[in-house]
Chains A and B, each alone.
Chain A
Amino acid sequence: MVLSKPETGTPVLEMAHVAKSFGGVRALVDASLTLYAGEVHALLGENGAGKSTLLKTLAGVHRADAGEIRLNGGDFHQGNTRDSIDQGIAVIYQEPSLFPDLTLAENVYVGRQLTSGGLVDWAAMEKGAQALFDRLGVSLDPMAKARGISIADQQIVEIAKALSTDTTVIVMDEPTAALSSKEVERLFSVVRNLRDQGSAVVFVSHRLDEVFALCDRMTVMRDGSTVASSLISETSESEVVRMMVGREVSELFPKLEPKIGDVVLEVRDLSLAGQFSNISFDVRAGEIFALAGLVGSGRSEVIRAIFGIDKYDSGSVTLLGKKLPAGKPSVSMAAGIALVPEDRRQQGLFMASSIARNVAVTMLKKLSSWLVLRRKHEESTAAKWASTLQLKFADLSDPVERLSGGNQQKVVLSKWLATEPTVLIVDEPTRGIDVGTKAEVHKLLSQKAQQGMAVIMVSSELPEVLGMADRVFVMREGEHRGTLDRSEADPETIITLATGGVMSV
C-alpha cells in the first residue's frame, strides 16, 4: 500500500480493513478509506473494484463482515439506512432517487419532515428548502412536484437533502455521469463551497479530468482492496490509471484507419417539437459520426427518433435509399439500424433474463424456421458473440444482472452486432464502464467501422469524441451548430459550438 502523509487532525471517518462477501463472492477483501474534514476525496477504481459496496456499507445498505469503521473518533453504528443518515452520512447515488410525486421541499426533508406540534409543517419545509436552494444558487420552486425536473436539478435536490441535516460526510457516487459540462461546473462550485465550510466529501467518478480538477486526495481500490491513497497533487492521471487497472493502458482510443464508403443514412430536416428542429446529416459506411453537445441539447432525442423510439413531427430518415417510417423501431431494426441505448439497465437489458435470451432478443426471427424458435441456434449464437466480445460469465443461462457493468454493456453490444446492422448507433457507449473495458469497446467500434459499418456515436466525454470520431456534429438547444472533420475537431471548437460561444471549462 502506498500511503501518503496524513493530513493534520483526527480523521472524520476511518474505514479500516473492511471485508464483505455475498454468498461466495468476496466483494470487499481489505478496503480502507480515511477522510478528513474540509477535503474532497476521490474514490477511484474500475467497476467491480468494490467502491459501491464500500459506500453502501457506510450508507447502511450493507453490513460489513469484518473491519472497523470509526466516525469522528467514535464508533460508527452499522445499522440500517436510517441509522447512517442519523449519524451524519449522506449518500447521493449515481441515479438520483427522488420521489416524483412529492414536492421538492418534501423530497429535501423526506423521512424526517419538519414538524411543529407533532404535525408536518409544510410552510417551514417550503421556507427551509427555499433557503437551501438559494444557498446552492439554483432557482427551483420548492412546492413543485419532482416529476419531470432535469437530472442536474435532481442532483441539486439531493445535495440540498444532504445539507438539510448535520451531515459530516457527503458521498457522491458518479454525480457527473449524466451532466453537461456547464452543469458539472455548477456542481463543482457547490462541492468546493461545501468543502470550504468543513464538510468531508467523497467523490466517485470515472472521469479522471474531473477528479484532478476538483479533488484534494484520492483512494484507489482494486479487486475489493484499497491499493493506494495519496494527495492528488502528488500523482498523475497515468499513474492513477495504472493503479486502477494494475497494468499500463497504452491505447484508450485505438482508432483504426477508416475506409469511408458511400452514404448509407440520410437524415433530412428532422424536427420534433420541443426537442430538436431541422436536423440534417449524412452518414457514410465505415465512418464514426459523433453527435456532440451538452446533455439536453437534443442528441439522444435525435437518435431515438431515427431509430423510431419517438415519432418525429417532420423530416425524413432514409437508409440505403429507402425511406423509414417514423416511430417504428421494429421496421428500423429490420432495415438495418441498431441502437445501443443510453440507459443500459432500463433500456438495454432484461436484467432478470439470461445472457442468451438477452443476446438473442433482436434476432428471434432469424433464429426461427417458419414459426418454431430453435433454441439450439439461440444458444450457439449467444455463445459465439460471448466469445467474440470476450464476455466474462459463468453460464449463458445466468441472468445478466449478475454481470459487471462492462460485461453488461458487452451483452447489449452483442445483441445489436448480431443483427449485422448497416448503421450502429451508440449512445454514451462507455458510461459507467471501467477503463479496461472502455478500451475494448473503443477498439470494437473502430474495427466494426473499418469493416464498413456506419457508426453514430453520442458521447458526453470529449476525449472519447475526439479520439474516436471521423466527423463531429455539434448540437445546441435542439439545433445543428456545426460539423467538424476529425482534423478540425478540438475541445475548444466543440465547446464553443456546443455552448454558444461561452467557454465554460
Chain B
Amino acid sequence: MRRWNFSWDKGVGIFLIVAVMIGTLLSDNFANASNLSFVLRDVTEFAIIALAMTFLIISGEIDLSVASALNLSSASLGFLYRAGVPFELAIIGGLLVGLACGLFNGYLVTKLGLPSLAVTIATLALYRGLSYVLLGNQPVNELPEFWISIGYGRILGTFLPWSTILLVVLAAIAWFVLHHTRYGRWTFAIGVNAEAARFSGIPVERTKLMLFAMTGLMAGVAGVVYTLRFASASPDGAVGYELSIIAAVLFGGVSIAGGVGTMWGVIAAVLSLGVIRSALQLTGFTANSLLIVSGALLLISVIAPKITEALRKRPSALGKDNTKKTIREVGNEKPTH
C-alpha cells in the first residue's frame, strides 16, 4: 500500500493552477494567448538555466556565476560577430564559452576541492569582468534580422515563441535524464551522501564536473537566447539573475541540502513566478511587490513542508530527527549520528 505523501513540488503544481485562476479572475488581459506568449518568453532564460541548476543543487553543489556566464556567452557571441565571424559560428562560440565557464567552475570545485559557494562568487566577478574586457563600453547591436526574428518572434500562425520549443525540448531531456536514467540517480545519490556514492562505484567527481559543465552550457544557451531576444550583446546584461534562478529552483522544492527535488516541481515554480509577475503587473502592483512575493514564496517553500511534516509526525525509531540541514552542505559535511 502506498501512502500519498504531500510534497512541496506537488504544492507548487497546485500553486501554479491557483495562480493562473486568480490572474484570470482579476484581470481581463491575463488569460489569453498573447499574454501566455509574453510569460513564456520572459521565463525562457531563467528556465533553461534552472533546469541545469536543479541537477547541480540536487547533487549538493551550487553555482552563483550563472548570470555572469550567461552574459559572457552573450558578450563572446557579440564580440565574435563584431570581429567578422559569421553569426552561426559566433553562436557556437558563445555556447562553447558557456561550457568553458562551467568546466572552469567544475575544475575548481572537483579537482582543487574548493567550496562551490565561494568559488562561484569569485567566478561571478571574473566572468562579468571578462564581458567588460571583451566588449568595453560598446554593446553589439544590428544582429542579423533572421536570427532576431527567431529570438523575439513567434512560430508562424501561433502565439508560441520559437524559444519555447527549445525550452520544451530541453526540459523534456532534463526531466528524462534526472528521473529516468542512471545519471539522474547518481545525481541524487551524490546529493544524499557523496562519500557513500563514491564507495558505491559512482564517479562522483566526474559527475559533478559534468553537472557544472552542463550548467555552464545551459547558461551559454540562455546567453544566446538572451542575445537574440534583446537583439544585442552588452557587458552588463542579466545582472543579478543568479539569485532569482536559485530562488526559483528552491521554490520548486529542491533542497539546498541536496538529494531532494523533482524536475517538474522546478518547471512549475519557474512558470509560477512568471505567471505571478504577469498577474501582479496586470492588477496594478508595482515591481517592488514582486520582490516581496518572491521572498515570501521562497520562505513558504521551506516552511510549508515543515508544517506538513509536523502535522503528521511519522513514527520513527530514531526519535528526534537530527538531520539539521544547513548551508554547510555547500562546504563539507560529515553527518554525525
Contact = CB atoms under 8 A, between A and B. Distances in A.
Interface of A: 22-25, 27, 53, 56, 61-62, 95, 97, 309, 328-330, 332-334, 339, 341, 345-353, 357, 360-362, 364-365, 367-368, 371-373, 397, 401-402, 404, 415
Contact of A361 (B200, B319, B335): B200
A362 B202 CA distance: 8
B298 interface: no
A404 B189 CA distance: 21
Q: Return the 4 tightest CB-CB contacts between A and B, nearest first.
A: A23-B315, A333-B201, A364-B182, A350-B192
B304 to A, nearest CB: 19
A353 to B, nearest CB: 6
B320 A332 contact: no
A339 B199 contact: yes
B181 A330 contact: no
B158 interface: no
B203 interface: yes
Given A22-B315, A361-B200, A368-B181, A346 B195 contact: yes
B253 to A, nearest CB: 15
B259 interface: yes
B188 interface: yes
A22 B193 contact: no
A332 B201 CA distance: 8
B311 interface: no
A341 B199 contact: yes
Contacts of B202: 329-330, 361
A364 B202 CA distance: 10
Contacts of A346: 193, 195-196, 334-335
A228 to B, nearest CB: 24
A340 to B, nearest CB: 9
Given A346-B193, A347-B199, A364 B315 contact: no
Contact of A22 (B198, B199, B203, B316): B316
Contacts of B193: 346, 349-351
A420 B202 CA distance: 17
Of B181, B182, B188, B334, the most chain A CB neighbours within 10 A belong to B182
B334 A352 contact: no
Contacts of B203: 328-330
Contacts of B317: 22, 25, 27, 402, 404
B328 to A, nearest CB: 12
Contact of B195 (A347, A360, A397): A347
A329 B197 CA distance: 10
B154 interface: no
Nearest to A365: B182
B196 A53 contact: no
Of B193, B199, B314, B334, the most chain A CB neighbours within 10 A belong to B199
Interface residues of B, number: 34
A22 B319 contact: yes
Contact of B196 (A349, A371, A397): A349
A357 B189 CA distance: 9
Interface of B: 2, 180-182, 184-186, 188-189, 192-193, 195-203, 259, 313-320, 323, 334-337
Given A341-B199, A401-B318, 13 more contacts: A328-B203, A329-B203, A334-B201, A346-B193, A347-B195, A347-B196, A350-B193, A352-B192, A352-B323, A353-B189, A364-B182, A373-B182, A404-B317
A341 B196 CA distance: 9
A368 B180 CA distance: 9
B7 to A, nearest CB: 13
Nearest to B257: A352
Contacts of A353: 188-189, 192, 259
A364 B184 CA distance: 10
A53 B319 contact: yes
Given A329-B201, A341-B199, A24 B315 contact: yes
Contacts of B180: 371-373
B200 A23 contact: no
Contacts of B314: 23
Of B197, B313, B319, the most chain A CB neighbours within 10 A belong to B319
B199 A329 contact: yes
Contacts of B189: 350, 353, 357, 361
B108 to A, nearest CB: 20
B196 A402 contact: no
A158 to B, nearest CB: 14
27 contacts: A22-B316, A22-B319, A23-B313, A24-B315, A25-B315, A27-B319, A53-B319, A97-B336, A329-B200, A332-B201, A333-B200, A333-B201, A346-B196, A347-B199, A349-B196, A350-B192, A350-B196, A352-B323, A353-B192, A361-B185, A361-B189, A364-B185, A365-B182, A367-B182, A373-B180, A397-B2, A401-B318
Of B188, B203, B318, B320, the most chain A CB neighbours within 10 A belong to B318
B318 A22 contact: yes
Nearest to A304: B199
A294 B22 CA distance: 69
A339 B200 CA distance: 8
Contacts of A415: 200
B182 A368 contact: yes
Given A22-B317, A332-B201, A348 B185 contact: no
Given A346-B195, A353-B192, A371 B201 contact: no
Contacts of B259: 350, 352-353
